[in-house]
Structure 1
């Protein structure tokens, strides 16, 4: 429920309660006036009877006839006056009640807006928040009421989130060094040992397998670090020519595509997006490497940059079940039985990183199976 609907409901409650109170007041006023006005018949009889008693020397039968007519006349006039008075009272009260109810609704709307203004501030602050920009606070001024307590609680939560993200940044920075260094040393030692011409064939085979495992671990760690970095959001944005990034990545992966027997075609229109050039390059690289790796000999890859979506990468290959497509964006998930034309050293983080980078740029990544096999991945990015 948004703040506008809450404001409307509060206004309706204010106006409804005032209208109900006004109706009760009108009914009470009507009953009081009705009880105060005299009964026409009794008032006419009492008044004319007392006047007849003051006439001396006139026989009673001579007074009764004119008196009866006079009573009916006076009673009718008083009854008409009484009805007119009550009708006027009801009409004027209804007009006053409607006018006052309209003013009550107007003032209720204004008061509800003023009472809900802190909620608007809290909502605006929450919408402006990003993983890399947690320095905004509400700092609500006012008496220590429930809304002030809510705003202070929200500010305290933001303080804890900012501290948590700072801790995560430090952890990623430390992990980047502590995890890469041992693997680099291990790879160097294996390569030095395998460089000895007197190494036995069994040890050389073992060293090759260890290098394969070591490189896969390095790629997995690199992918996890990129995933953690993109999940934190962007600290800064710069104009990036997406078409130029795609062209550069296509050149960089041309050797892999040629080795896999896959033909890469492109259609690149000029498109500028605001973001991190390193993360965007990683997004494009993962898409093209995935499209080449999960393909078939003699297959094809088609990459297009345009308006919306900003990037689309299609490839041939094995048929992808529609129910398996959503799981491809989860870490370490692959389609069971999918054939590969490239190496097997990927860590299963490619599309997870693509989706995370797209979200960090305020966009989205989607996939759907191709009509004749393969996959189509679209990436939407704001200009």
Structure 2
């Protein structure tokens, strides 16, 4: 920052010194131009003139005579006009020399004060930058909560500091989400490993009979399937966060019908009715990821429902997909948390068919990859959730 302060000091100080030099020079020139005329007029007025012609000279009465002063360098016997000119020249030269001396002294003091003022002003202007730099150097994972909170009048630097604070808010939320994700992922992966180890060490200890071996085998396969689904979900989530490598027109309304048909048997087994009201909706994106997005939304709506519940899938030509369901009441303050990995409305029980809690987080990641926005709203006393994915309009060709 010191180099920037030196540059600003040179800029501000140079401008102030230049302005002072121009002002001093202008004053000197203006005084120089009008000085001789002013002195000549003053001297001519002060020196008495004889109204009579020189050839008719008459002795001046003693009572009216003006005492003569001898002026150095001006003989008393010179013509009156020459005397006035000589006096004016000498007086003007003396006045200009005095003016020049005073101007140089004043300009020197002004230049020193200007540079000092410019240095102070540059430091004052750059103070927020120094605060931002110091905070950026101190930041680490342990003090992401610190903020600049710059107390300054509105301006560019105030806006910069506020923007930096907003960026820190986003980073803190992101780091917190990543830390929770890592902890939850470790927990979710450790649980099936512990079950497999216990089944192998306890269930197969001694001389187990065939039925016991078959039971343990079924349990191990079930746990392996859950682990495989979890790993697939994590990989899909990671792929979704990377963005899209290709885009092609995808009919979301067709996907909605296909997904609803694919989940019809599971919905019937849970006593849930799925209805589709699909207007034509085509977006540019990845067909596989969009199919997963629709599938996760409808599957969550079916699984987290009540007996004789309903699921409504709707697409609109206005550019959105909406999935609404009946179900348990969802507190409004917990709705945003459902889009975080491994977050559920209720604690996981590891029951058969229970997901890992990645469904809505995958939906959110796929939506971001497609430039879409996901919003959710609790249905209130009736229970359930309404999730809407709003796709951005395709840019004009």
TM-score class, shorter-chain normalisation, is 0.5 to 0.7
Q: Secondary structure at the match of 2:41?
A: helix
Over residues 96-122 of structure 1, what are the superposed CA-to-partner deviations in whole Å (9 max), with x where a residue is unaligned?
xxxxxxxxxxxxxxxxxxxxxxxxxxx
Q: Which residue of 1 aligns with 2:167?
A: none
- Does residue 28 of structure 1 match 2:24? yes
Q: Secondary structure at the match of 2:250?
A: strand
Over residues 33-84 of structure 1, what are the superposed CA-to-partner deviations in whole Å (9 max), with x where a residue is unaligned?
34312276642242356683796315658999xxxxxxxxxxxxxxxxxxxx
- Does residue 303 of structure 1 match 2:299? no
Q: How does 1:200-279 map to 2 (within 5 A)?
A: 200-279=210-289
Q: Which residue of 1 aligns with 2:368?
A: 359
Q: Which residue of 2 aligns with 1:369?
A: 378
Mapped contact 1:318–1:339 kept (Cα < 8 A): no
CA distance in 2, matches of 1:335, 1:272: 32
CA distance in 2, matches of 1:354, 1:207: 34
- Does residue 313 of structure 1 match 2:323? yes
CA distance in 2, matches of 1:60, 1:324: 117
Q: Which residue of 2 aligns with 1:173?
A: none
Q: Secondary structure at the match of 1:323?
A: helix
TM-score by length of 1: 0.54
Evaluate the alpha carbon distance shift between residue 63 and residue 38 of structure 1 in structure 2; reply closer, same or farther with a 3 A threshold: farther
CA distance in 2, matches of 1:338, 1:216: 13
Q: Secondary structure at the match of 1:311?
A: strand
- Does residue 46 of structure 1 match 2:46? no
CA distance in 1, matches of 2:265, 2:237: 26
Q: Secondary structure at the match of 1:355?
A: helix
CA distance in 2, matches of 1:41, 1:58: 32
CA distance in 1, matches of 2:212, 2:368: 47
Over residues 259-310 of structure 1, what are the superposed CA-to-partner deviations in whole Å (9 max), with x where a residue is unaligned?
1110111110101100000000001001111111111111111111114551
Out of 355, 365, 384, the position equivalent to 1:346 is 355
TM-score by length of 2: 0.53
Evaluate the alpha carbon distance shift between residue 47 and residue 317 of structure 1 in structure 2; reply closer, same or farther with a 3 A threshold: same
Evaluate the alpha carbon distance shift between residue 288 and residue 59 of structure 1 in structure 2; reply closer, same or farther with a 3 A threshold: farther
Q: Which residue of 2 aligns with 1:175?
A: none
Mapped contact 2:300–2:359 kept (Cα < 8 A): yes
CA RMSD of aligned residues (A): 3.8
Mapped contact 2:281–2:319 kept (Cα < 8 A): no
For structure 1, list consecutive stretches of 5 or more residues without a partner in the other structure. 1-13, 65-182, 187-198
CA distance in 1, matches of 2:298, 2:59: 126
Q: Secondary structure at the match of 1:296?
A: coil
Mapped contact 2:263–2:299 kept (Cα < 8 A): yes
Q: Secondary structure at the match of 1:38?
A: helix
Pairwise CA distance, 1:202: 3.4
How many residue pairs match? The answer is 241
Q: Secondary structure at the match of 2:307?
A: coil
